[in-house]
Structure 1
Amino acid sequence: MRKIMENWFESTLWSTRLFILLPVIFSMLAAIALFVIASYDIYEVILYTLHVFSSHLHPENFHEKVVGIIISAVDLYLIAVVMLLFSFGLYELFISKIDAAERSEGSKILQIHSLDELKDKLAKVIVMVLVVSFFKRVLHTTYSNPLEMLYFAGAILALALGLYFLHKGGNHQ
């Protein structure tokens, strides 16, 4: 009787891993939604740019507006990639290897073999999201004195060093 209870409990415990399908599915849907939203933003920028060129106008802050929207779209794309990596990683770690990915001759970036590997890949993409967000904010910042420019240069140096060490320590997938 004890062995039967133990087998039943272990089987039930093992089956609870299937609840991971919820974050897998919703992360994938979130990624798709972000890809669509970012693509729509880019589409709107293209239409706006075509309108400006066809009407021979040059609105004030045209370049800043266009670049700002494009940087925001890139930011959304990167966040969507984080969601995809998260989704693929959880599935591979808790449910099953993705057979199509194993057979694929394409990039192996979406294959995850350990929780540490998933965290490392997510951290790298999140750092890139932060870098893009930093430059989006910098685009709309005005500098009133030389000390602010020095802080800006220091921030860029810190980002460059961070990216250098992040790239140096990784396995470059």
Structure 2
Amino acid sequence: MDPHPSPPGVKNHDEQSFIERTIETCLWNSRFIVLLAVVFGILSAVVLFISGSIEIVTTLMHSISIAEASVKHEEILIGIVGAIDFYLIGVVLLIFSFGIYELFISKIDIARKEGDFNNILEIYTLDDLKSKIIKVIIMVLIVSFFQRVLTMEFETSQDMLFMALSILAISLGVYYMHKHKV
């Protein structure tokens, strides 16, 4: 009697031909190609976190510089919001890397033991991964929009109206996103 019986509908080793077994083994092992996406996703996230940190340090140095006596508050906000943009995109890449690894390779056991990242690692399907990434991308777009608003020059009342309508549209989008648990 086989100590490890096959699930219903799955052929055991003796029922498969050599060619079928070889092709299926190759197909199954081809999933390891996603390790490239995982590694480069993490490396890209590291670069973005470093770039965001440099952006903040540069903004801070510029704001406390003796040579620059008149630093505008908008310039400080633009630099810091730009750094937040880098960080959020880095988070997207980390979530992508974790999710792809867990979907195709293996669960990240150390994170599950420590219990710190359960909400990040609750990815069981590609739709779960897509949903998490979409939420962060929406936040990136909102932060980018905020950064653009800081640099806008309002010349007419129509400019102010369009900005107000844009903020209303973003607020409604975020409201419905949370209401429907995208």
Q: Return the TM-score normalized by structure 1.
A: 0.91
Cα deviation code 1:129-165 (max 9, x no counterpart): 0000111111111111111211111100000000111
Q: Distance in 1 between matches of 2:45 and 2:155?
A: 39
Task: For 1:93, give the aligned amino acid.
Answer: L
From 142, 148, 151, give the equivalent of 1:140.
Answer: 151
- The reply to whether residue 32 of structure 1 matches residue 46 of structure 2 is yes
TM-fit CA distance, 1:166: 1.0
Task: For 2:130, give the aligned amino acid.
Answer: K
Alignment of 1:47-58 (within 5 A): 47-52=61-66, 57-58=69-70
TM-fit CA distance, 1:106: 1.3
Match of 1:13 in 2: 27
Larger radius of gyration: 2
Change (3 A) 1:145 1:41: same
TM-fit CA distance, 1:22: 0.3
TM-fit CA distance, 1:57: 1.8
Identical aligned residues as a percent: 42
- The reply to whether residue 104 of structure 1 matches residue 96 of structure 2 is no
From 164, 168, 171, give the equivalent of 2:179.
Answer: 168
Match of 2:3 in 1: none
Superposed CA RMSD: 1.7
Q: Distance in 2 between matches of 1:32 and 1:91?
A: 17
Following TM superposition, where does structure 1 have runs of at least 4 consecutive aligned residues deviating by more than 4 angstroms? Answer: none
Structure 1 stretches of 5 or more lacking a match?
none
Q: Distance in 2 between matches of 1:104 and 1:2?
A: 41
- The reply to whether residue 73 of structure 1 matches residue 83 of structure 2 is yes
Aligned length: 167
Q: Return the TM-score normalized by structure 2.
A: 0.87
Q: Distance in 2 between matches of 1:2 and 1:106?
A: 43
Q: Which has the higher contact order (CA 8 A, sep 6+)?
A: 1
Cα deviation code 1:107-148 (max 9, x no counterpart): 323212111110000000000000001111111111111112
